[in-house]
Amino acid sequence: MVEQDLRSTPLAAVHESLGATFTDFAGWRMPVRYDSDLAEHRAVRERAGIFDLSHMGEVHLRGPEAGAALDHALAGKMSSMGQGRAKYSLLLTEDGGVIDDVITYRLAEDHFLVIPNASNVAAAVQALTERAQGFDVEVDDASERTALIAVQGPLSEQILREALLGEDSGVAGLSAEDLTGMRNYRFATGTYRGEELLIARTGYTGEDGFELYVGTALAADLWQQLAAAGGDRLTPCGLACRDTLRLEAGMPLYGNELSRDLHPAQAGMAKVVALASKDDFVGRAGVEDADLSGRPVLVGLVAEGRRAARSGAEVRDAAGAAVGEVTSGALSPTLGHPIAMAYVAAAAAAPGTELVVDVRGKDLPVRVAEMPFYRRA
């Protein structure tokens, strides 16, 4: 795809002014880095980073049966979730594969917001629309008119308080307690310059942080306001460091660790599927009937040195037999040694198992390790 065919976020001019290097991600022209992947990664771990995630989708479900419709459509039980809360869930195929992993927010008794991944927005909207048939609910794809900015890192709350709680901030309906008292997977709503603003304590980095949803017309102003308040404490961050951050945190990436050909249990996500707490839903029969005895499972791998395994690398046992494949890998900036996620045969999945990964034709000894690789203090 040539660059002029790529979609741009409302923050494209901001990224260009900051000297970003761009890449094609799911058909979007996205900043992959601004300066140094390592510096951006460390900024999030030590201070705070700001990300443009406006390529993600935003799908509203409104109506008296919105909760019931989502219980039918998703693997988790959404109808029992309290207002002001968020939940991670899966959108499954009929046979139990994963169409997408999503975050769902309950804005009101009859109003939910579902966030699909950028590469799956069309598929998620189609599935949610089809599965809402027969329920008293309206499905509204607001992706084109919504921007998403993330501020992640140990100083994120402090920066948000300074940026959004002053008299001249343009923010209304949001108190200091809304931010300081907000627990993980909770959110608060208010307005920014008269338009709706949603701030959630969610993220994809393994650090404390927030995600801010605002109308596209105000995205650049909000970014600049956050950047001004953050100063040297807040670093613009691209997709490259977001990937190493989520890998250290053991968070799956759709297309790598999740796909239509993989069942939740293979990825260690059996508990995400609400088999015990709700009745029939799309994918239930596929999950219950699946024979996973011969299927690979997701594990973490660690190694010594500086060479890192990459996606697609073959994993072998001590006898040289192929037992799996790496899905994500990198030299961990925080830990200083190579880490990876891989699908391997169940017989090779026990923590401590010694294996070998092919890294550009050379053997790299690895050891199966529990995830996450990194957990914030």
Residues 153 and 237 in one domain: yes
pLDDT, one tens digit per residue, over 262-273 is: 999 999 999 999
pLDDT at 338 over 80: yes
Residue 132 located in a structural domain: no
Residue 177 located in a structural domain: yes
Residue 170 located in a structural domain: yes
What CATH number did the domain enclosing 310 receive?
2.40.30.110
Handedness of CA 116, 5, 237, 14 (dihedral sign): negative
Q: Which of 34, 82, 49, 25 is nearest to 208 (CA)?
A: 49
pLDDT tier, 3 (very low <50, low <70, confident <90, very high otherwise): low
Residues 151 and 240 in one domain: yes
pTM of the model: 0.97
Average pLDDT, the chain: 97
pLDDT, one tens digit per residue, over 342-353 is: 999 999 999 999
Residues of the chain with pLDDT > 90, as a percent, come to: 98
Residues 223 and 163 in one domain: yes
Where do we find the tokens 């024979």? 291
Residue 287 located in a structural domain: no
- What angle is formed at CA 309 by the lines to CA 303 and CA 315, rounded to 5 degrees? 85
Q: How many C-beta neighbours within 10 Å does residue 285 have?
A: 13
**Mean pLDDT calculated for residue range 355-366:** 96
Residues 242 and 369 in one domain: no
Could you give phi then psi for residue 113, rounded to 5 degrees?
Answer: -125, 125
Query: 247, 281, 312: which is the final residue of a domain?
Result: 247
Chain-centre distance for alpha carbon 204: 5
Q: If 0-12 CB within 10 Å is exposed, 13-18 middle and 19+ buried, where does residue 133 land?
A: exposed
Residues 42 and 153 in one domain: yes
Chain-centre distance for alpha carbon 120: 12
Q: Per the structure block, which two tokens stand in for 213?
A: 């949803």
Which pLDDT value is given to residue 239? 98
Q: Where would I find the H helices in 145-238? A: 156-164, 176-180, 219-230
Which pLDDT value is given to residue 265? 98
**Number of structural domains, the chain?**
2
pLDDT tier, 333 (very low <50, low <70, confident <90, very high otherwise): very high
Query: 222, 247, 272: which is the final residue of a domain?
Result: 247
Residues 222 and 300 in one domain: no
Residues 21 and 155 in one domain: yes
Residues 154 and 231 in one domain: yes
What CATH number did the domain enclosing 189 receive?
3.30.1360.120
**Mean pLDDT calculated for residue range 325-334:** 98
Q: Are 50 and 151 in contact (CB under 8 A)?
A: yes
Which pLDDT value is given to residue 337? 98
Q: Are 285 and 134 in contact (CB under 8 A)?
A: no
Residue 291 located in a structural domain: no
Where do we find the tokens 């053997």? 363
- Non-local (6+) Cβ contacts of 224 within 8 A are 14
Where do we find the tokens 């957990």? 375
Interaxial angle between packed helices 66-73 and 121-131, expressed in degrees from 0 to 180 and rounded to the nearest 10: 120
Amino acid at 224: Q
Residues 241 and 301 in one domain: no
Q: Are 149 and 212 in contact (CB under 8 A)?
A: yes
pLDDT tier, 332 (very low <50, low <70, confident <90, very high otherwise): very high
Q: Which of 81, 82, 119 is nearest to 101 (CA)?
A: 119
Residue 116 located in a structural domain: no
pLDDT at 2 over 80: no
Residue 312 located in a structural domain: yes
Give CA–CA dist 103/79, Å, rounded: 14
Residues 368 and 304 in one domain: yes
Handedness of CA 87, 92, 96, 97 (dihedral sign): negative
**Mean pLDDT calculated for residue range 200-204:** 98
Residue range of the domain that includes 231: 3-56+145-247
Residue 88 located in a structural domain: no
What are the start-end ranges of the E strands in 109-208? 111-115, 138-141, 146-152, 171-172, 187-192, 195-200
Residues counted in the chain: 377
- Non-local (6+) Cβ contacts of 227 within 8 A are 50, 234, 236
Query: 213, 247, 281: which is the final residue of a domain?
Result: 247
Residues 353 and 222 in one domain: no
Instruction: Output helix, strand, coil percentages for the chain, rounded to the nearest 5.
Output: 25, 35, 40
Residues 172 and 243 in one domain: yes
pLDDT at 212 over 60: yes
Q: If 0-12 CB within 10 Å is exposed, 13-18 middle and 19+ buried, where does residue 193 land?
A: middle
pLDDT tier, 314 (very low <50, low <70, confident <90, very high otherwise): very high
If one compares 166 and 104, the residue with the highest pLDDT of the two is 104
Which pLDDT value is given to residue 371? 98
Which pLDDT value is given to residue 377? 80
